Chains A and B, each alone.
Chain A
Amino acid sequence: MVWTKKHLLDIESLTAEEIVTVLDTARAFKAVGERAIKKVPALRGKTVVNLFVEPSTRTRISFELAEQRLSADIINFAADASSFKKGETLKDTAKNLEALNADFIVIRHSASGAPHFLSRVLNSHVINAGDGAHEHPTQALLDAFTIREHKEKISGLNVTILGDILYSRVARSNIWALTKLGAKVTLCGPSTLVPKTFEQMGCRVTYDVDEAIRDADIIHLLRIQHERQRKTMFPSINEYTQLFGLDKARLAKTKPDALIMHPGPINRGVEIDSEIADCDRSLILEQVTNGLAVRMAVLFLLNGGKGPQEIA
């Protein structure tokens, strides 16, 4: 198919065909990462601004390396060293960055909708690297890519997302992506963190962990996001681990080919038992490798112009 989107703001507005195009393109970029020379000139002469208003380590370095592997020039703009502290608005900061001829702005922001706002006021391509509790589209794309590498097709799979759903943009983007691709999504966690309203997104909500993971092909664990919780949503971390943590006893009751995913950073001994995180059913580090390929694919697709796809 021909890619026509200028920005990557969320998964909600993508079609299944567009998601599959990203995944197919990412496969080619993963192969580039396995060559002796891992760099290609696709974005030579383009400038990418990484505007991380909310702290991030793994997503930021993944985007940075993806941009470098595509030969783009990079400006890193971190919240702590920036002018936000001097009172400049997001729009003014972004306009100033665009005045440096930035072609792409990769934004991470604590406010939901910040990337959408920038896409309306800027001419640059905008990529959402996580906005509040709204979406984290490249995470969902790399998760889908990782699942597809192991299970061939996503349609018909049972995927259980376990943990803090309420505050998780990863969960929302994953629910959109997986349901669009035909997977059956089950959400589970403390009832305070998994409101029934999520059923409106086309997934099932349950509070019985053993039932939630019994038939799962993929168990997707999420971290408890202390930084987003204004008040305590469950009695204690210990109780959370007892009730919802994935340990050996619980894993023994799942399908033998069920695979474990986690967007990181993992809290060993909280949502996941340390040994399970390192076992051969864990895809956690593959997710990191695939994230690079998926982000290269997104930058490559958005960089396309308005002309036809095939030129002799």
Chain B
Amino acid sequence: MPESVTILDANAIQRALTRIAHEIAERNENSAEVVLVGIPAGGVPLAERLGKILSEIWKQPVPVGSLDVSMHRDDLDRRAAPKIYPTEIPFDVNGKTVVLVDDVLFSGRTIRAALDALNDFGRPKKIQLAVLIDRGHRELPIKADFVGKNVPTAPDEKIIVRENEVILERK
């Protein structure tokens, strides 16, 4: 039986997202330039929640999109073909500050694929990265700009992010 530990409960997730939203607002003075892009599946609901908090802070709507990165992964012939989620970027990314949003930052390979995939939609002025959990074990020189919680993990442990809780599963 794997042992499960709750790392964040519903309140803690909401507090982490509120803090990240304030950090995004502090870092980006020109609010009109900021758009959020969630990486499916886990990053999309988080991007929507962050978008809602940011619109309240800035008193203006913040565009939110989703970007599937499956077609740009570097491990496609080492794994069964991934499920592809919809990509919806209903705004122009050219000249914008795109904040990529994902649930868990691990090897960094998903983010590398996301940077590549985003390139097909235009040339943002800046790209920043927000993650709810940074669990370490990076395989690429990638670092998040905004982190909800740093969680030291062993490589074979699993992080499960749900709407109301984040769980660490030990083998």
Contact = CB atoms under 8 A, between A and B. Distances in A.
Nearest to B72: A41
B79 A31 contact: no
Contacts of A32: 71
Interface stretch (B6-14, B46-54, B83-91): B83-91
Interface string A3-44: 110000000000000000000110010011001110111100
The B interface is mostly helix, strand or loop, or mixed, namely loop
A305 B87 contact: no
B107 A312 contact: yes
A193 to B, nearest CB: 39
A306 B76 CA distance: 10
Interface string A269-312: 00000000000000000000000000000001111111111111
Contacts of B106: 312
A304 B81 contact: yes
B72 A31 contact: no
A95 to B, nearest CB: 22
Contacts of B68: 28
Contacts of A300: 71, 76, 81
B80 A312 contact: no
A111 interface: no
B88 to A, nearest CB: 9
Q: Lowest 7 A-B CB distances belong to which pairs?
A: A304-B81, A307-B79, A40-B71, A28-B84, A37-B120, A309-B80, A305-B78
29 contacts: A2-B80, A24-B84, A28-B70, A28-B71, A35-B120, A35-B121, A36-B121, A37-B120, A37-B121, A40-B72, A41-B72, A42-B70, A42-B76, A301-B81, A303-B76, A304-B76, A304-B80, A305-B80, A306-B80, A307-B75, A307-B78, A307-B79, A307-B80, A309-B79, A309-B80, A309-B82, A310-B82, A311-B79, A312-B158
Given A41-B116, A311-B79, 15 more contacts: A28-B70, A37-B120, A37-B121, A40-B72, A40-B120, A42-B71, A42-B73, A42-B76, A300-B76, A301-B81, A304-B79, A305-B80, A307-B78, A312-B106, A312-B158
Interface of A: 2-4, 24-25, 28, 31-32, 35-37, 39-42, 46, 300-312
Interface of B: 68, 70-73, 75-87, 104, 106-107, 116-117, 120-121, 158-159
